[in-house]
Structure 1
């Protein structure tokens, strides 16, 4: 279904629909698949070989699960059974995981619990954002889908049941989680910043105004939490106890994203100031 974006809330279409239209393929939109009689009748009248679901946002039920010969395949951006649920990329980054991956599996009634058709692992860079990781996993997922579909057609595909003892969940990010705390350690702070980039963004309050922090790096300097320890090439180095973070990109309330160096110069931030004020 289309979404609305921008100041005028103009209707936009997904890249999938855009590509389908270029290829002169039929596109159907639905607000609720389980109650859409037109799409359901089309499925039952002319069953497809398979259905692929990616970032759909709706629970897929019968008869869509079992009618196609291949079933209904989903590309999930985690190494299932780890990080089942709505926010697997953000949660993996927030948890400081060093690797993740993508899984192609067959949908069943239970969320993200179906048999695995294929997986690919990748290493997470310690400064990589959720947005950057999403792009890499999208490419890996599309390549993996081609592999598993080919193996199905060749009759060589093998499936693996998920180990229920290894299940973990990636719950939706709540608004209450987006505020940063100077009393946490530097890596926790840094991981939350990159996990919430590009959406919805992590923030602090400085002088009673919201300041979003979009990009940081961790350094080994120690000091009082929130204290400006130094400036590196103009970028402020802020203490979080035993370590510190360098503020590379920030966004003052009501303004555009800017470098930490430009922001600190603009407010005349100096060594010894404390951002907990």
Structure 2
């Protein structure tokens, strides 16, 4: 099948790779424009852009698809279908209509739960028991199109965003190949999304990582697993911002934000949290014990 692939981050790369391995002709790749990155703030291509370039596939990086010129260029490719995976730009109706079989989206949730930009992190933060991938026939709404395939995965109590990201990327890579085969053979029918159970996975903001010790320890621990590596979870200790990379729940109580013992167990709105892996500004990640040996935080300290 002649395809256009539209994606930007690491999540999208295994999906593009699977399409190539399955023998599809990826005639063009669309990705967001290069962005400044690293210490030198030099413009860097997205992971999808770099991968496609390495495979010799033409890459387009428009800032928008709203202009008639961009829409005409997209239509001129003559694709049978477009596969979209975390592209990051809105597709106008003219783009949605251009491929013969439309545009298929690989979405990292069990729709209609967690429509939107950050479904992986939101599922962990909410304490969902399961999540998954949905292959959807795109329409003009925000992740509102009819569903072609879905598959679920259990969210274990220690599931992290990094682990879930990789599991769902691999799942999406497999399901999109299956969906394209079903569409081509006429054996796969789209099903409208249920009207009930809609939630929105709003884009992550940097300040979401600040710990509010008034929340329950369980809520904070889920944030630690969901928001690393970005935007990260932290608390203020004097002038320093201490990142919490891993943490344990402890069945103790006290005034929220108060250090309860020499192991950095901190009282929360309900129960307590014990950071076990942390990072000081400009330092490598370390165990909490290592940090405390060189930078003691006495019992009774109230953290910001």
TM-score by length of structure 2 reads: 0.82
Task: Quote the Cα distance in structure 2 between the aligned partners of 1:264 and 1:236.
Answer: 8
* CA displacement 1:94-115 (0-9 Å, x = unmatched): 1111211111101111111001
- Structure 1, residues 238-277: CA drift from partner, whole Å, max 9, x if none? 333652222122222343332211111111234x233426
**1:132 CA drift (Å):** 2.2
Name the CA distance, whole Å, in 1 between partners of 2:179 and 2:82.
13
CA RMSD in angstroms, aligned pairs only: 2.1
2:303 aligned residue: 276
Q: Distance in 2 between matches of 1:246 and 1:127?
A: 15
Measure how far apart 1:19 and its partner are: 2.9
Range moving further from structure 2, 45-54 or 214-223: 214-223
**TM alignment of 1:24-173, pairs within 5 A:** 24-35=56-67, 37=69, 39-173=70-204
Aligned ranges 1:236-275 → 2 under 5 Å? 236-240=264-268, 242-270=270-298, 272-275=299-302
SS in 2 for 1:236: coil
1:7 aligns with 2:39: yes
SS class of match (2:59): coil
Deviation of the 1:46 alpha carbon: 4.0
Which secondary structure does the structure 1 equivalent of 2:192 belong to?
coil
Alignment deviations for residues 68-118 of structure 1 (CA, whole Å, 9 cap, x no partner): 122011111111111111111111111111211111101111111001111
- Tell me if the contact between 1:33 and 1:60 (Cα under 8 Å) persists in the aligned partners: yes
Measured against aligned partners, the alpha-carbon deviations of 1:34-81 in whole angstroms (never above 9, x if no partner) come to 2272x4333333420000111111100122111212201111111111
Structure 1 200/139 Cα, relative in aligned 2: closer, same or farther at 3 Å?
same
CA shift in 2, pair 1:76/1:224, >3 Å: same
Q: In 2, are the aligned partners of 1:127 and 1:217 still within 8 Å (CA)?
A: no
Partner residue of 1:192?
223
Alpha-carbon distance between aligned partners in 2 of 1:266 and 1:243, rounded to the nearest angstrom: 27
CA pair 200-176 structure 1, distance change in 2 beyond 3 A = closer
> Shift of the alpha carbon at 1:122?
0.7
Q: Distance in 2 between matches of 1:166 and 1:184?
A: 25
Contact 1:78 1:88 in 2 (8 A): yes
**4+ residue runs of structure 1 moved beyond 4 angstroms?**
none
Distance in 2 separating the partners of 1:64 and 1:148: 20
- Residue 179 of structure 1 is aligned with which of 210, 214, 218? 210
Separation in 1 of the partners of 2:35 and 2:68?
19
Displacement of 1:218: 1.4
Inter-partner Cα distance in structure 2 for 1:230 and 1:46? 64
Q: Which runs of 5+ in 1 are unaligned?
A: none
Alignment partner, residue 30 of structure 2: none
Distance in 2 between residues matched to 1:118 and 1:217, nearest whole Å: 36
Contact 1:87 1:172 (8 Å CA) reproduced: yes
Q: Is the 8 A contact 1:30 1:36 kept in 2?
A: no
2:296 and 2:197 map into 1 onto residues whose CA distance is 50
Q: C-alpha deviations, 1:149-185, integer Å up to 9, x for none?
A: 1111221112110112221111122344322122221
Cα distance in 1 for partners of 2:225, 2:282 equals 21
What is the alpha-carbon distance in structure 2 between the residues aligned to residue 157 and residue 179 of structure 1?
A: 45
